[in-house]
Structure 1
């Protein structure tokens, strides 16, 4: 059984669409980590390790492994990188606009770190998806910002919506860009269950 330790509706939807059996158990994580002087790929790995450590220290991992014997706990985190600048979730509309303008007409990469924790072993993976975007249309950008759909999205990027309309090219997994590299998870799950 997969136990998704996340409150992300996008990640739950990715697992559902992949046909994997799972349950969701959310946990409030402290995601404060210095972003300056660190690459996006290093940042997302550190923040994920921080999440796993917080869950361990709170007793959540042992409790979930007791509840779901032979279960696989899945933790994930994503960030966006533009010119080695780390973009996480925007705190307000102005910050979201700034992040989106950095991506407009540029290349942006989504980095997703995933940890699978079980009673027998832990695995860790890092996936990258890079997009080249056309310049964003001003009216569409304003509408997207007003919609609030950017909330809770790394870099305010919504590849399954607004941002996806402007993709010129993509290198990597679209599911990874939505928050979880389900292909890696499925390969692991099918080989170890």
Structure 2
């Protein structure tokens, strides 16, 4: 590479490898907004059941941290993990096991506000950087026809709370307060800050 003055510049490729601890295509898409492609994807295998009486925010933060610690990585690899939890009051709405549970979730969310909590954890060696983002989401009153049509779409499968804001369900959300990308599964601004803190060159050098 040569500067405008004709001086040769050497661009270092000695950056840490980034490991995404999630198989979620949405999180890969959100990283791509920063121009980042993870060097590897290693989804952790952990117990994601809430503890008895565990509240949504502590549960979500614990999940992200446990995922980050569970991903095997070398000392110079950076691991990025996240967890998204839908909270209806004190109740945690996880990924519905079937369409019946998804329908129950949607009926509960209909016409109400709820919180979407996304925790991000970045690990490098023994160090862990963490951040929790809460977003308030309003769902319009849903008719039986709208609920049935959404269930038939299959979009609810594998999604916390039984919906994804980036799909058809976005038509049912007139208002949010907080981070849209966090509701999708990864708050981009916060993730970028944590990666930078861990020594990953978010705004330059990751494509070398």
* TM-score normalised over the length of structure 2: 0.79
Higher share in helix = 1
Which structure would you say has the larger Rg?
2
Offset at residue 28 of structure 1 (A): 4.5
Aligned to 2:58: 42
- Could you tell me whether the CA contact under 8 Å between 1:113 and 1:127 is conserved in 2? yes
Shift of 1:188: 3.2
Which has the higher mean CA deviation after the structures are superposed, 5-14 or 115-124?
115-124
Contact 1:12 1:24 survives alignment (8 Å): no
1:51 to 64, 67, 78: 67
Structure 1 counterpart of 2:93, from 76, 87, 95: 87
Q: How many residues align?
A: 183
CA distance in 2, matches of 1:47, 1:15: 20
Match 1:102 to one of 104, 108, 118: 108
1:124 equivalent in alignment to 2:130: yes
Verify: 1:181 aligned to 2:187, yes or no: yes
CA apart distance, 1:36: 4.7
Asked if 1:65 corresponds to 2:74, the answer is: yes
Instruction: Out of 135-144 and 183-192, give the one that drifted further.
Output: 183-192
Structure 1: stretches of 5+ with no match in the other structure: none
Shift of 1:90: 0.6
Change (3 A) 1:40 1:165: same
1:7-36 deviation line (CA, Å, top 9, x unaligned): 111111111123223234233423342355
The corresponding residue for 1:160 is 166
Contact kept, 8 Å, 1:175 with 1:181, in 2: the verdict is: yes
Shift of 1:190: 4.3
Give unmatched runs, 5+ long, in structure 2.
1-16, 202-208
Deviation of residue 169 (structure 1)? 1.7
